[in-house]
């Protein structure tokens, strides 16, 4: 007879490695899984959780988020724990909340994270300190953004950085890595980084080599130039010698639908040559970011997610707004800025092809500060499990879980996460395989998903019976399990 704090009994364990589910109990003590198997003889000092045949899986790792500030202001992290997410990777797309004190209003897309006063961490260590002082419900892996570094050291973001500026950015990055940052992100499609040549990015990324850091990239062009952009991503990986994660991979604009055949072939060839090239995606055919004219031009339809001067337009169609105002779309955009938008511009076949591709990870790319956010913020993980794995047959439930857990933990160097096994951290989700599904829509984006029964982070329950609890067991995770 053995003792522990909690036993989850009578569940079907999907362990995060991709192998078939097994009927097993799971014992938890001290924030870790201490045993897996027939534990009917075990005593639980705190709680026996009856799984009743539901799936017991590792908590999901949301590898692409913009939750930098959400962790601090809404530590219950309801949009994420309601989906079974137990770890978020923050600081993506080149934009991180730290380290930066902006000179004025943060330029788009930095303003996706907040206003001037929200950027209050001069050093990355200050952000880490704030997280440590007030932990959230979920764990975090934090990246530093290339655009954030540019805003910190450059007077004009519309040009390439000088050698001196690049060196200064590298020094700040080194400092962040020493303080617990896991890597660098870049967003070369954005006005804050468009002018940066690949060499600037590769020079910076090479600083990650010694620290074992990772580089994530919102590519320069996800539309007509998407193939060239994948080539650029691979070249940056080759030049810098660090693994590259291609973020939210997609093909934007009707004339570019189908190009994922070429991009995925390039990624497969790079992998075969021994390069670390990874990717993530979200399961929707609309994207979302700040309102930008060149993004509007290739979209079938655009919805306004927020507008500072015209909050009454939130949730409305851009073409209709322009028509009502009796102006052309460009003029309407000028009036709406600063603003955010949802762009319907991808194809379902590309989405499925990218999702089904070997080892593609799942990242919500949710925008938690938008007034009417894209439904991916609340729906991504249950949508992959329900709509694409169970109902769509894109892959097995075991494979879907592997991509969200064991595989993501491997890529981000989280040695003791992403699996149900003795010794692993007790990040666990209990879900109903028959019922799990997203419920958030473009019209009603805040609907929590169905079928997520219980979520534990480091052994503590953070979501139960359709509501967040008051527990805040999350921590900042370092690569390779260090702490």
Query: Residues 118, 165, 278, 365: which binds Cu ion (CB under 5 A)?
Result: 365
Nearer to Zn ion, 131 or 193 (CB): 193
Structure tokens at 423: 């010794």
Residues 388-417 interacting with Zn ion (rule: CB under 5 A): none
Applying CB under 5 A, what is the total number of residues that bind Cu ion? 3
Smallest gap from Cβ 222 to Cu ion, in A, equals 11
Smallest gap from Cβ 282 to Cu ion, in A, equals 9
Residues contacting residue 240 through CB under 8 Å, at least 6 positions apart: 202, 203, 205, 206, 208, 209, 215
Tell me which residue has tokens 């910076």.
204
Give, as one character, the DSSP assignment of residue 41. Answer: T
Smallest gap from Cβ 267 to Zn ion, in A, equals 17
Nearer to Zn ion, 290 or 468 (CB): 290
Nearer to Zn ion, 211 or 296 (CB): 296
Under the criterion CB under 5 A, does residue 380 sit at the interface with Cu ion?
no
Structure tokens at 448: 């929590």
Applying CB under 5 A, what is the total number of residues that bind Zn ion? 2
Residues 183-242 interacting with Zn ion (rule: CB under 5 A): 218
Q: By beta-carbon distance, which residue lies closest to Cu ion?
A: 93
Nearer to Cu ion, 93 or 389 (CB): 93
Residue 173, contacted partner among Cu ion, Zn ion, none, CB below 5-8 A by kind: none
Q: List C-alpha distances in Å: 60 to 66, 117, 362, 439.
A: 16, 32, 9, 18
151, HSE (Cβ side, Cα atoms, 13 Å): 30
Smallest gap from Cβ 448 to Cu ion, in A, equals 22
Residue 86, contacted partner among Zn ion, Cu ion, none, CB below 5-8 A by kind: none
Residues contacting residue 13 through CB under 8 Å, at least 6 positions apart: 21, 22, 23, 24, 26, 36, 55, 56, 57, 420
Closest CA to 363 of 348, 344, 377, 345: 377
Nearer to Zn ion, 186 or 424 (CB): 186
Instruction: Return the range that interacts with Cu ion (CB under 5 A); candidates 82-90, 91-99, 228-236, 260-268.
Output: 91-99
Nearer to Cu ion, 92 or 166 (CB): 92
How many other β-carbons are positioned within 10 Å of the β-carbon of residue 290?
A: 22
Query: Residues 82, 83, 86, 92: which binds Cu ion (CB under 5 A)?
Result: 92
Nearer to Zn ion, 33 or 186 (CB): 186
Q: Could you tell me if 372 and 305 are in contact, meaning their C-beta atoms sit under 8 angstroms apart?
A: yes
- Give phi and psi for 331, each to the nearest 5: -65, -40
| C-alpha–C-alpha distance, residues 270 and 274, integer Å | 7
Tell me if residue 296 falls in helix, strand or coil.
helix
Residue 161, contacted partner among Cu ion, Zn ion, none, CB below 5-8 A by kind: none
Residue 139, contacted partner among Cu ion, Zn ion, none, CB below 5-8 A by kind: none
Instruction: Return the range that interacts with Cu ion (CB under 5 A); candidates 87-95, 119-127, 400-408, 425-433.
Output: 87-95
Q: x/- binding map, residues 65-104, to Zn ion, per CB under 5 A?
A: ----------------------------x-----------
Under the criterion CB under 5 A, does residue 454 sit at the interface with Zn ion?
no
Nearer to Cu ion, 140 or 397 (CB): 140
Give, as one character, the DSSP assignment of residue 389. Answer: I
Residues 106-145 interacting with Cu ion (rule: CB under 5 A): none
Smallest gap from Cβ 375 to Cu ion, in A, equals 15
Report the interhelical angle of 318-325 vs 329-336 (nearest 10°): 100
Under the criterion CB under 5 A, does residue 93 sit at the interface with Cu ion?
yes
Nearer to Zn ion, 9 or 147 (CB): 147
Smallest gap from Cβ 145 to Cu ion, in A, equals 10
Length of the chain: 483
282, HSE (Cβ side, Cα atoms, 13 Å): 25
Helix extents (H) in 188-314: 198-205, 208-211, 226-240, 260-272, 293-297
- Give phi and psi for 167, each to the nearest 5: -65, -40
Residues contacting residue 377 through CB under 8 Å, at least 6 positions apart: 79, 364, 366, 367, 368, 370, 440, 445
Nearer to Cu ion, 190 or 431 (CB): 190
Smallest gap from Cβ 146 to Zn ion, in A, equals 12
- State the residues that interact with Cu ion by CB under 5 A: 92-93, 365
- State the residues that interact with Zn ion by CB under 5 A: 93, 218
């Amino acid at each position: 007879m053995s003792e522990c704090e909690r036993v989850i009994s009578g569940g079907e364990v999907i362990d995060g490695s991709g192998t078939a589910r097994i009927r097993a109990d799971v014992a938890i003590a001290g924030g870790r899984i201490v045993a897996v198997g027939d534990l009917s003889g075990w005593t639980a000092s705190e709680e026996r959780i009856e799984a009743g045949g539901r799936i017991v899986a590792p908590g999901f790792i949301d590898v692409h988020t913009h939750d930098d500030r959400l962790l601090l202001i809404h530590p219950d992290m309801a949009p994420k724990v309601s989906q079974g997410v137990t770890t978020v990777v923050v600081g993506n797309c080149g934009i991180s909340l730290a380290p930066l004190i902006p000179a004025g209003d943060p330029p788009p897309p930095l303003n996706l994270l907040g206003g001037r006063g929200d950027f209050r961490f001069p050093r990355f260590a200050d952000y880490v300190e704030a997280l440590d002082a007030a932990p959230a419900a979920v764990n975090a892996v934090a990246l530093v953004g290339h655009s954030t570094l540019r805003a910190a050291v450059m007077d004009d973001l519309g040009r390439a950085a000088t050698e001196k500026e690049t060196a200064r950015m590298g020094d700040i990055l080194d400092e962040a890595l020493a303080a617990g940052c896991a890597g660098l992100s870049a967003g070369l499609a954005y006005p804050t980084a468009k002018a940066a040549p690949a060499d600037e990015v590769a020079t910076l990324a090479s600083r990650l080599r010694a620290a074992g850091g990772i580089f994530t990239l919102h590519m320069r062009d996800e539309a007509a130039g998407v193939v060239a952009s994948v080539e650029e991503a691979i070249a940056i990986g080759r030049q810098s010698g660090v693994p590259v994660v291609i973020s939210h991979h997609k093909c934007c604009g009707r004339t570019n639908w189908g190009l994922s055949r070429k991009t995925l072939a390039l990624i497969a060839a790079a992998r075969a040559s021994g390069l670390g090239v990874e990717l993530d995606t979200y399961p929707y055919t609309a994207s979302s970011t700040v309102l930008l004219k060149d993004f509007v031009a290739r979209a079938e339809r655009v919805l306004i997610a927020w507008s500072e001067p015209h909050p009454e337009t939130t949730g409305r169609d851009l073409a209709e707004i322009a028509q009502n105002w009796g102006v052309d779309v460009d003029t309407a955009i000028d009036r709406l800025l600063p603003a955010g938008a949802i762009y319907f511009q991808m194809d379902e076949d590309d989405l499925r092809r990218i999702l089904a591709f070997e080892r593609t990870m799942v990242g919500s790319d949710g925008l938690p500060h938008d007034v009417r956010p894209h439904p991916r913020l609340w729906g991504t993980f249950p949508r992959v499990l329900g709509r694409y794995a169970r109902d769509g047959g894109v892959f097995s439930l075991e494979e879907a879980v592997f991509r969200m857990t064991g595989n993501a933990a491997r890529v981000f160097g989280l040695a003791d996460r992403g699996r149900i096994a003795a010794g692993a951290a007790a990040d666990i989700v209990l879900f109903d395989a028959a019922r799990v599904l997203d419920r958030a829509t473009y019209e009603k984006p805040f609907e929590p998903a169905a079928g997520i029964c219980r979520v534990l982070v480091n052994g503590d329950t953070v979501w139960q019976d359709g509501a967040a609890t008051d527990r805040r067991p999350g921590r900042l995770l370092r690569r390779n399990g260090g702490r």
